[in-house]
Each structure stands twice: as C-alpha cells, then as structure tokens.
Amino acid sequence: MARRKRNNNTIGLNSTGQVAPALAEDAHLDISMLETWLWDAACAIRGATDAPKFKDFILPLVFFKRLSDVFEDEFAAHVREYGDEELARTIVEEDLAHSLKTGSTPIIRFYVPGDYNWRAIRNHGADGRLGEFVTESLREVARLNPDLQGVLDIKDYNERQSGQRTLDDDRLGALIEVLSRHRLGLENAEPDILGRAYEYLLRKFAEGQGQSAGEFYTPKEVGDLIAELIDPVPYSTIYDPACGSGGLLIKARLLYERRHPDERSRAPRLWGQELNPVTFAMAKMNMFLHDYTDSSFAIGDTFRKPGFGPEGSLMQFDYVVANPMWNQDNYDDAFYENDSFNRFCSGTPPRSSADWGWVQHMFASLKEGGRTAVVLDTGAVSRGSGSKSSNKEKTIRQAFVEADAIEGVVLLPENLFYNTTAPGIILLLRKGKPEERAGQILLVNASNYFVKEKPKNALTPEGIAAVAEVYQK
C-alpha cells in the first residue's frame, strides 16, 4: 500500500510544528459517562438493534482512539521534559527506529504518527475513501508497533459483501464523529474505568448476538465468582487456554488489585490462548485498555499447539481458569492417543465431547499445589453415571476422583450463558490438596442464586459471596 506523504504532523503536531490542540478537553470521565457515550457511538451506525453486528468495526476504533489520545499526552510530556518540540520529536522518532530494529521497549508505549492519528481520521475529506483511509491508518500504526500486529490491523473498513460496503462512509463517519465527542487521554479515563466500559460494550454486544456470543464472552458474574474462588496471591500466574475476550483473566486480576491495593507491582501475570483471530484481537485490546501490558497471549488451537512453554512441554501455572466451548467434537481417539504433551493420561474423551480433554489439559498445566476453575456443561459430571456399561467420561471422572484431584463442583443457575439456556457447573481442581481437604469433594448448589434479566438470568452478588465463603472455609 502506498505511503501517504509525510508532513509536519507526524507525531501529533500541527502544520506550524506546535502541539496540536486536543479534540475536546474533558473533565474526568466516570464509568456512567463512558458507558453511555460508547454505546451511543455503537448505535450511531444503525441503531441499538444492529449495533452488535458491527462490533468488529467498533471495538478497534475505540481502542485506536485511546491509543491516539494517550500518544498525544505522552508526546506532550516529552516536549515539556526536553523544552523543545523539534528535539522531542527527533528523540521519539529515533527511539522508535531503534526499538523496531532491536526489539527494545520504546520510551512511548505506542507510537501514532500524525498522518494517521485520530485527528487525521476525523478530518479526512468526503472523497469516498474514508473506509480505505481508516484501514490504512490502523495498519500503519500496527506496522510501527509490533505488539499491535494481529490486533489493530485485521479489519478492512472498506470490505464489501455482495458488492456493497458492509459499513459505508456515511455510517463510518457518524461513528467517528460520536467517538470524537470526548478525549480518552491519560487524564480523562483511568485504565480500570476504561476497561470496565469496554467490558460493558462486550456485554451489550453479547446480548444482541445470541448463541455466537458464547465464543467471546462469559457473563461477568460468572467471572466474578471464578475470581473469588481462586483468589490469586501476589506474584502468581493465571492461565486461560480458551480465553475468549479475556474476561476471566481480567476479573481475577481486578479482584487481586481490590484486595491488595498497595501491591500492584506484585500482581498476578496473565496468560491466554485463543483460536479465533478476531476474538484474540478483542482479548489483546481488553488487556491493553486495562493497562495489563505484562500479559502474554497466543493465537491458535490450544489442543494441537499449546502456546506457552519450551518446545515439547507445557508451561505450568498457579491458577488455570476457562469457559471452553462445551461438547466440542473436533478431536478423535487418534489425536488424544498421539498427544506429545502427555496430557490425557486419565483417559480418552469421546469424539462427541472434548470437555474432559479441556479438564486434562488444564490439570496438566498446573504447578504443584495449583488450582483450576473451569465452566462445563452439567453433563460433564453425569454422562454415563447411571449405566453399568463402559463410558469414556465416567472412566476419566473416576481417575480424577481416585487421584483426589477434585475439590468441588458448583451448580450454577440456568439461562446464564449466551449460547444455551442450560445450567452449567464450575469444576474445581487442585494438584495436591492440603491435608485438611484430602478425600473430600465439596458440592455447592447455587442454582437458586439468580435474578431474571433480559435476555438472560444473572448470578446474584449474594450467591457469589455465599459460594466463595463455603469454598474458602
């Protein structure tokens, strides 16, 4: 793609070489303002009903707006530090070139050239090329920031279906204009508040997408419960092998930060793997918006190619959490029997359901003393129980019981999840139980702890607290 001609606006400067004025100088944005504003932006395309259909266009632009505004703030700070704009520009550009060459950490987290920043997108003329220019801008910023590759550059804002633009310039321009109402700079929204607003958008999109939403979103209350159950400690590691948009990992770290407000430097590190490229990008954006830049993510099939650890072995973690797709039928006996990571020692799951394949992968990914919380279909703990004939899942369950690896099972209310009305369970495992829990399996019925909401039920705070209290005793 041809590069646009470079001008004096390369790092947020105007044509006179002065730091360009902010789009809108806002007071501090609280969570209510952020949520309302971002949902208004989503609805600017074609109303609330159709907004979820365009989530893959909307979310990268929200993220890019934050990157662009934060870059302005960070560059302005360097101007103040060096006392000269041209000197600051030279230092920042030379540092960028060095970091791209050597892989070192740049002095500015994400570099956004002025030719491709938010202001340039907003001011792009009505020439019929807005979608093309937005795509070009996001891809150029991703090229200059390797951590954003596969995150910011995967959507084509000029894409066509059946010869028609999916999102025409008029609607794209309306979205950009609403997003331009406020700044998302360092002084306008803290990472935790902005992250909460992003999660709110994900939830709104999930509500409108029905069954497909289960691929990227776990209800926040279920995430809250899992965080309470694992209750991570300082310097620990948390892994989600089917991370979706990253919600379970973020909930766990947020709980740690609430309970250890003076120990954020010791916060757990987050690791996740996701198969779907678009959902992977959502997870990475989620982490960056929460300012969890020390997190690590891999893309690909967790079963066939685990993303972490030395070649031929699995990295192990203190906590493993997940809500994998239930009853996957992607894997046969030959796959499990030829696994090079020695994960499926307790038995081969049936072709019809990989649930106990996920459980075994997660257990193999635990350090000694580590704990797992995984959301599964209720059938995962019952299929084959009433039969005297052999059943693969029953055999695996028996092996886990005999190894004293199961700490508990929590029965959840029905109609919580976006891809089913059925209730689920949270299966709790520990690799090496403490003596006081040896030989015990805790069974918790939380099925009545819910309130009816539209379109789904929601687990109540009282239910979360009650289950956590019983488990942590």
119, 249: one domain: no
Task: Tell me, yes or no, whether 457 lies in a domain.
Answer: yes
Task: Tell me, yes or no, whether 22 lies in a domain.
Answer: no
Domain end position, chosen among 157, 189, 221: 189
270, 404: one domain: yes
324, 442: one domain: yes
209, 172: one domain: no
Q: How many structural domains is the chain composed of? A: 2
- Token pair for 165: 């633009």
Cβ-count burial of 168 within 10 angstroms (0-12 exposed, 13-18 middle, 19+ buried)?
middle
User: How many CB atoms are closer than 10 A to CB 26?
Assistant: 16
Q: Which CATH number covers residue 105?
A: 1.20.1260.30
- Token pair for 38: 């971002």
Please state, in angstroms and rounded to a whole number, the distance separating the CA atoms of residues 34 and 23.
16
Residue 301 has φ and ψ, to the nearest 5°, of -80, 110
Q: What is the pLDDT of residue 5?
A: 39
177, 208: one domain: no
129, 231: one domain: no
pLDDT, averaged per 10 consecutive residues of the chain (473 residues), comes to 41 40 64 94 85 91 97 96 94 95 93 96 91 98 96 95 92 95 94 94 87 81 98 98 97 97 95 96 96 96 95 95 94 95 96 96 98 97 80 96 98 93 96 95 97 93 97 89
Contacts of 190 (CB under 8 A, 6+ apart): none
399, 457: one domain: yes
CB 339 within 8 A of CB 331: no
107, 221: one domain: no
Own/partner pairs for 30-37, CB < 8 Å, 24+ apart?
Answer: 30/193, 31/193, 31/196, 31/197, 33/182, 34/189, 34/193, 34/194, 34/196, 34/197, 34/200, 35/197, 35/200, 35/201, 37/178, 37/181, 37/182
Examine residue 455 and say whether the peptide bond preceding it is cis (omega within 30 degrees of 0). yes
263, 410: one domain: yes
362, 226: one domain: yes
Task: Tell me, yes or no, whether 2 lies in a domain.
Answer: no
Q: What is the pLDDT of residue 8?
A: 40
**Which DSSP state fits 150?**
T
Question: What is the extent of the structural domain holding 103?
Answer: 31-189
Nearest to 189 by CA among 30, 36, 62, 75: 30
Q: Which CATH number covers residue 321?
A: 3.40.50.150
Task: Tell me, yes or no, whether 442 lies in a domain.
Answer: yes
Cα angle at 327 between 323 and 330, to 5 degrees?
105
Q: What is the pLDDT of residue 58?
A: 95
185, 231: one domain: no
CA distances for 354 relative to 238, 392, 393, 423, angstroms:
22, 11, 10, 18
181, 290: one domain: no
Q: What is the pLDDT of residue 445?
A: 98
pTM of the model: 0.91
User: How many CB atoms are closer than 10 A to CB 87?
Assistant: 13
